[in-house]
Amino acid sequence: MRVEVRSRVPGGERLPDVLIELARERTTVRELIRAAVAEQVRAWRGDHSRCRAMLDRQYLTDAEVRAQAATGVVRLPGRAEADPDPDAEVARAWRAFEAGAFALFVNGVQADALDEEIVLRLGEPVVFVRLTALVGG
């Protein structure tokens, strides 16, 4: 089954929409994220720094931001020398999902847990939405 995955990030450049191939329509959130992130990395192979910046913009967690803030500056890495490692990026995306850095919507319903079983419908895109805290709140 082919599924379109859309990424949404407030106020900036985002990862490209990708088509992923899954063996069946019933899967888990974990498997869906694995397939989507691996395809996002493949889509930007060769443009190392842009790929790195977009992955960080989508999957950087609050804990990573706080750790960088303690050093006095928060920034996305400027230049990557090699293509991001798909396995490492998948693991980071899983951690970001569990930390609430982004929400995942399937058939218009927000998924809650990595091991949650979901049923995909033909023609219904999956949406990853980066969550951003409001100023002052």
Domain boundaries, the chain: 2-130
pLDDT at 78: 43
Identify which of 137, 131, 132 has the alpha carbon closest to the alpha carbon of residue 105.
131
Distant-in-sequence, close-in-space partners of 24: CB < 8 Å, separation ≥ 6: 1
Residue 64 and residue 87 in contact, taking contact as beta carbons nearer than 8 Å: no
Q: Profile the chain (137 residues) by mean pLDDT over runs of 10 residues.
A: 88 80 94 93 73 68 68 55 80 92 94 96 90 60
pLDDT at 8: 85
pLDDT at 25: 92
pLDDT at 7: 86
Residue 49, CA distances (Å) to 63, 76, 101 in order: 22, 10, 21
Whole-model pTM: value is: 0.79
